[in-house]
Chains A and B, each alone.
Chain A
Amino acid sequence: MSSWIDGNGGVYVAGIGLHPYQFPNDTPYTHLGLTAVRAALADAGLRFDQVQSAYVGTTSIGMAAGRVMLRHLGSTGLAVTQVENASASGSFAFRQACQEVAGGISDVVLAIGVDKHGDGRRAANKDGLERLSDTATIPAVKFAMMARRYLRERGADIHSLAAVAVKNHGNAARNPFAQFRKPRTLEQVLASPKVVGDLTVQQCCPRGDGAAAVLVVSGQALRRLGLDAGRCVRVLASSANSERDESEYGDGALELVKASARSACEQAAVSPTDLDLLELHDAFSVEELLYSEAIGVCEPGEGAAYLARGSSAINGRCAINASGGLIGMGHPLGPTGIGQIAELTRQLRGEASGRQHERARLGMAHMIGLGSVAIAHVLAAPAR
């Protein structure tokens, strides 16, 4: 059955580029972003004046960052739109690009995420409502409580949480664009300072800066522009939703993730167990265990065992966060979701040297924003 994403000859990722994620410093965001865009253009074999529209995912830079940055590539008159949706800003910029291409409005669209570490201002703190706790809108506290409940209900222990960080720091050590490049042992993760609840600092994503860019093209343009179809990754699904009333205490985020992933798999006509790669929002270690179950790559209650037996490792059954995830690669917010798309594209092309998941055919990028919005994309390897 045809879906909107099949319009205009299909939607493809033709080029990817990143600026390495890094600890906050004085590098201007324009430098970060332009590095990523130039790399994506070179990767696709496209010129900037062929790009018809750009979506810029960012949370902390300020108004109209896109035009300020992109004018250094030439004033070509392209449409520029800024997108903000917390951690999922880049993912939603990518979705906008997919919709514009599939709808036939444009054939070549840039999706870029770029960010500098900001002051963490949140709309939830400006709604005019007082709260009983000063940490009521701090994600770390919410996820630490989810971790506590996970350990109690699953009969798991803190080693299960720490093992997520060990795997993802290990993957990041092999990713030249990652913020952390050191493998960590279970003992190191557990011995790092506690932040909240059972979460130690090495189980929490770092703050950072960075940029990631992808060029989204139509199937029509892919042929017309003579792009290398053997390196173009097809987007099979794009699905987004927001939180509903939770049916049981603590299940709101899981139901959100489950619904978005299920919708994306239905659109792509694949089963979650068909996925070879999964990039997901592991801002805190427990999330990977919870979401791998919610997305359906493993059975409910099996997340910790799935990890322990190596099924989520590179060259396991489904490589989860082969990039290093948010814990290892970093989480500069605006770029994070587009960095996921870049990682899947690299893996599905077979170009992830040093961390290549063999025989990768299908991948999902899944992201949430402040635990209340979710988005999922499914990508397929080029026909070979």
Chain B
Amino acid sequence: MTLASTEPRPRHPSLYRLAADGHSLDFHYARCNRCQRLAFPANSPGCPHCGSAMDDAERVTQPGGGTLLEYVTLHVALAPDMAVPAIAGDIRLADGIVEQGVIGVPDEAGLRPGMAVKAVAVFQQDGQSYRCAFVPAQEAIR
């Protein structure tokens, strides 16, 4: 008999996993064999920088976070099952990698372009899964 795992699951397992502290997220990257730069997501079929195939690329896991470049508040639910207001932001995760992420703060008051942000787990109500949100790096430390 196999017991069901009680370990919460990442909503996007190809992108991140829970870090050892049980709160932060580690991101999965792939390092291109040709140009040595990182790709995200790690299962990208081609290097976004040089176009090489990524089949044999080295997998790299690093603490999730980066630099907040821009952000806006969504007043209308533009995706299914989305609660509003919500904040979306563009984050530079690594050299040449900018991704949109959910900003996990209640309003824009404490945000500014150029600030460091850190990826944290937001556990769903059922406790079975978690998703990613970015918060100011200083806030994550508290």
Contact = CB atoms under 8 A, between A and B. Distances in A.
Interface in A130-173: 130-136, 138, 140-142, 144-145, 148-149, 152
Given A129-B41, A130-B14, A141 B72 contact: yes
B115 to A, nearest CB: 14
Given A148-B72, A193-B75, A196-B78, A133 B100 contact: yes
Nearest to A146: B70
Nearest to B93: A132
A152 B70 CA distance: 11
Contact of A141 (B49, B69, B78, B132): B78
A71 interface: no
B74 A196 contact: yes
B78 A249 contact: no
Interface in A97-135: 128-135
Given A130-B41, A193-B75, A136 B99 contact: yes
A134 B71 CA distance: 15
Interface residues of A, number: 27
Given A196-B73, A245-B96, A140 B90 contact: no
A141 B92 contact: no
A135 B92 contact: no
Per DSSP, chain A at the interface is loop
B105 interface: no
Interface string B64-101: 00000111111110111010000010101000101111
Given A136-B99, A144-B72, A193-B75, 16 more contacts: A130-B13, A131-B12, A131-B99, A133-B102, A134-B80, A135-B79, A135-B88, A138-B78, A141-B72, A141-B78, A145-B88, A195-B76, A249-B69, A249-B90, A249-B98, A250-B90
Interface of B: 12-15, 41, 43-44, 49, 69-76, 78-80, 82, 88, 90, 92, 96, 98-102, 113, 132
5 contacts: A129-B14, A136-B100, A145-B70, A148-B72, A194-B76
